[in-house]
Structure 1
């Protein structure tokens, strides 16, 4: 297995796994499959060529099996922060530590960006596996958003979590 930053030539594979994620786990993402199914790989080609975010992929041979994106804040008053979004591992590859390796890569990258002091993320409150993973890496819940997402009439709460990089633990 290899984890590396995605490049423009990975855009088609990323689009495929992104749409799979939105179909498989709609409660884990603010975007919906319907909203993103009309996207083209060109959107991601441009994103991966830019330097304002970092999307990493886990590959098994040449197959993309997991992804994560780290987005440093651009606004002056928020430049000490970054966010983790779009974390996904294909169902058949879960439970093998792959998500933790992707998280560690994103955290390691955040530590190399001048000025980044904290990383934020949100996670559906009922996702015990993800909550446990993030806690094991030092993330702490600082808030709870009731009814954060609404999918087909069902509400999902989210935990707001933060990792202060000067307090992070190495795992």
Structure 2
């Protein structure tokens, strides 16, 4: 397996796995399949070419994209000491193989290498114990519970907000 930063040659595969994630686990993302399914490849390229965003991808030895996660730096002056981990997803057939751990480790390593970044934030659905335990194992701490953070059809979904202090 290979973990690396996404490049423009991967955008078609990235789009496919992103849409798969949104379709299979709508409760885990702020975006929806309906909002992203009609975006063009150029829209995805634009999202991925931001100088404050680093999308990490996991590929099998057969070059199949099986996991994604994005580290986003804050750009406002007073928030530049912060980064956010968003869009974490590993294909169901590739779970329980340590891929999520490697993707989060890549984000933390990148955040640590960025001079200004002192803390990393993420949000996790309260019922996703696998993801929550992964983040806790890296030292993330829960600092708040957001009741009804998301609304999917007629169901509210709570999220916990977590932080990892690097410095």
Normalised-by-shorter TM-score class: over 0.9
Unaligned segments of structure 1, at least 5 residues: 167-171
Matched, 1:123 2:124: yes
Matched, 1:78 2:79: yes
Other structure's SS at 1:145 match:
strand
**Superposition CA RMSD, Å:** 0.9
Alignment of 1:43-58 (within 5 A): 43-58=43-58
Other structure's SS at 1:39 match:
coil
- TM-score between both structures, scaled by the size of structure 2: 0.97
Other structure's SS at 1:84 match:
strand
Residue in structure 1 matched with residue 91 of structure 2 by the alignment: 90
Equivalent residues of 1:149, 1:156 under 8 A apart: yes
Matched, 1:143 2:144: yes
Matched, 1:59 2:59: yes
For 1:40 and 1:29, the matched residues in 2 are separated by 20
For 1:112 and 1:11, the matched residues in 2 are separated by 25
Matched, 1:25 2:29: no
Residue in structure 2 matched with residue 42 of structure 1 by the alignment: 42
Other structure's SS at 2:85 match:
strand
Displacement of 1:58 after TM fit?
Answer: 0.0
For 2:43 and 2:139, the matched residues in 1 are separated by 33
Unaligned segments of structure 2, at least 5 residues: none
- TM-score between both structures, scaled by the size of structure 1: 0.94
Displacement of 1:152 after TM fit?
Answer: 1.3
Residue in structure 2 matched with residue 162 of structure 1 by the alignment: 163
CA deviations over 1:13-59 (Å, ceiling 9, x no partner): 10000000001100000001111111122122234344221001000
Equivalent residues of 1:7, 1:45 under 8 A apart: no
For 1:127 and 1:35, the matched residues in 2 are separated by 23
Matched, 1:106 2:107: yes
Residue in structure 2 matched with residue 169 of structure 1 by the alignment: none
| Number of aligned positions between the proteins | 166
